[in-house]
Amino acid sequence: MKQSMQIEVIKELIHQMDTKTTCDAGRVVISPTNVYTDAALAEREWKAFFEQHAQVIGLSPELPRAGSYFTNSDLGMPILATRDKDGKFHAFINACRHRGAQLTDEARGEKNRFICPFHSWTYSADGRLMGIRQSEMFGEVDKACHNLIELPSQEKYGFLVVHPQLDGVIDIDALLGPELAAEFDSWQFDQCEFLGESTIDKALNWKLANDTFGENYHFSSLHKDTLINLAHSDYASYREYGRNHRICTASRFLDTMRHQPESEWNFSFASIAAYYIFPNIQLVFVGGMVIMVRIYPDRQNVAHSISRVSHFGMPHVKAALGSDAPAQTVKAENVYSADPTARMEFDVTAAIELLVSTVEHEDYAAAEKTQIAASSGKLDHFLFGRNEPALHHFHNNYRAVLGDAPLEEYRAA
């Protein structure tokens, strides 16, 4: 993010802290609870948002060099993502052209050749069929016509994007819009370092999981023993970019940073920021790290979802601050006891602890109980407040894509 924009966001957060205000959607709206329980609606969502929509499946550093690969099975098909010898990103159906055996069930690794475990047909990282074992016994095969099935894919601004349909079209610039594309380009995600991954498997609708990232109104209540030690509740800078948005929460370190020269202000440490990319991606910036959360529905169970979490270091951001910029290293054991007046640089154990103790054990645990309440059929609606504009945005965009009316405004009697 350009320094001028970083200063603009930080000044907005300081103003909110000083005036006890926050972002304002301008109205309270009614959200029907059946959006979390209706199996027919869930199937419409699956087809519109996942089957027929381009999907971010990772960031460039997850394929750091030629021969790198990872797999994905969250979109109703087995996907093999590779980087070939020329550095190009590909996405294939992870299935041998002989009889459909999965080429690899490893989550990720490095290979220049993929050998089918069933009959040892061999493929290159760019999908070409290179060899057929005992080809003289098997019979003549036109290898050029039996390469791996390749899905449309594109890599740009550090995002790895695929389309689940063979005839699908990907335009990352159109998905992000020019303003957000420029903002992501400035973050140089391709310079990040992949540090690990985890999975959160919970009994809640995928939109309830997504909702937890959409407001900080709950910080002082739900996170009173955890995240509130790192960030202020309630104050939030909010900005929309078409179907996408960014919400920034004031960090505790901002209380110190505000007294430093503006030239030393840095967005990565002044706030905990969450970018949302339609339909299911959350990119969370905290303590000099980026956490990508990809949230997937369970097509067989409307009240179940999977969140795939990837952790990335941002060494280029830390390097830009200079070696003389004072900082404390935050690890899992001190993530909630670190000195909030000093800049915090998270390591991967701190990021994982943050996700486990706040998102999994607090946010998602509370949302599971919300799912039970919604599924009971006794509550016909929830309310999204004026101070929760991201929730308005999530749900109105979902409704618009499905051709449904916007959320109705609530008016007190």
Give residue 2's pLDDT: 81
* Cα dist from 164 to 62, 101, 152, 277, whole Å: 20, 19, 8, 17
The pLDDT score that the predictor gives to residue 178 is 97
**What integer pLDDT is reported at residue 323 of this predicted model?**
58
Tokens of 283: 């990119």
Pick the CATH number of 55-170 from 2.102.10.10, 3.30.990.10, 3.40.1180.10, 3.20.20.450: 2.102.10.10
3-state SS, 30-81, equals EEEHHHHCCHHHHHHHHHHHHHCCCEEEEEHHHCCCCCEEEEECCCCCCEEE
CATH of 3-52+176-409 among 3.40.50.300, 2.30.30.100, 3.30.2320.80, 3.90.380.10 = 3.90.380.10
State the chain's maximal CA–CA distance in angstroms. Answer: 82
- For residues 157 and 185, the answer to whether their CB atoms sit within 8 Å is yes
List of the chain residues with pLDDT < 50: none
Residue 56 structure tokens: 């971010």
Show me where the domains of the chain are located: 3-52+176-409, 55-170
What is the pTM (predicted TM-score) of this model? Answer: 0.96
The DSSP result for 144-184, as a single string, is: GGSSPPB--EEEETTEEEE-SSTT----HHHHH-HHHHHHH
Token readout for 406 is: 């916007």
Burial, 8: exposed, middle or buried (Cβ in 10 Å; 0-12, 13-18, 19+)? Answer: middle
C-alpha 70/C-alpha 66 separation (Å) is: 12
DSSP letter for each residue of 344-360: EEE-HHHHHHHIIIIII
Closest CA to 277 of 400, 141, 394, 401: 394
Sign of CA dihedral 243, 358, 185, 297: negative
- The per-residue pLDDT for 325 is 64
Q: Which of 6, 64, 13, 12 is nearest to 317 (CA)?
A: 6
pLDDT of residue 320: 76
**Encoded tokens for 225:** 């023993």
35 token code pair: 């959006």
Q: 52 Cβ partners below 8 Å, 6+ apart?
A: 164, 165, 168
What pLDDT does residue 322 have? Answer: 63
How far apart CA 134 and CA 137 sit, in angstroms, is 5
R_g (Cα) of the chain, nearest Å: 23
